[in-house]
Amino acid sequence: MGSFNQILNENATCRDIFEYFFDLSPTDINVLYSMDDRKPETADDIALRLKRDRTTVFRSLQRLAGSGLISKRKQCMEKGGYYYSYLRITPEKISDLVNKKEREFHQVLQCLLKDISREFKE
């Protein structure tokens, strides 16, 4: 996880926000940035484009889906079977999600600040 000081650095980027607030690796972030919010893709499509192993991309997709930054859709095939496709959420929804994380962080920080005086009195 990235450090808080990294976010406060004047050279911080949006990538640092994803690392800090969502605990994403550089590979996860590269996968996220490679995706579109209009065209669903499979893990194979993304792996081929990024020239990465499919299992590496799949793990990143799982983390990204778990964080809410992408959606995962089950697609049925004509002759039976299914596969999953992935779609990045829109930049507006990403901003909303980051704002929500920031508010949660602020609430936790406020609770922890109240604990400081109790901890140092003992």
Taking only the tens place, the pLDDT of each residue in 35-85 is 988 999 999 999 999 999 999 999 999 999 999 999 999 999 999 999 999
Check residues 16 and 11 and name the one with the higher pLDDT: 16
What residues pair up with 87 in beta bridges, in sequence order? 71
Distance CA 69, CA 96 (A): 11
Cβ contact 63:73 at 8 Å: no
Distance CA 88, CA 31 (A): 10
What are phi and psi for residue 88, nearest 5 degrees? -70, 145
Stated pTM of the model: 0.84
Nearest to 86 by CA among 1, 28, 16, 17: 28
In this structure, what DSSP letter does residue 28 have? Answer: H
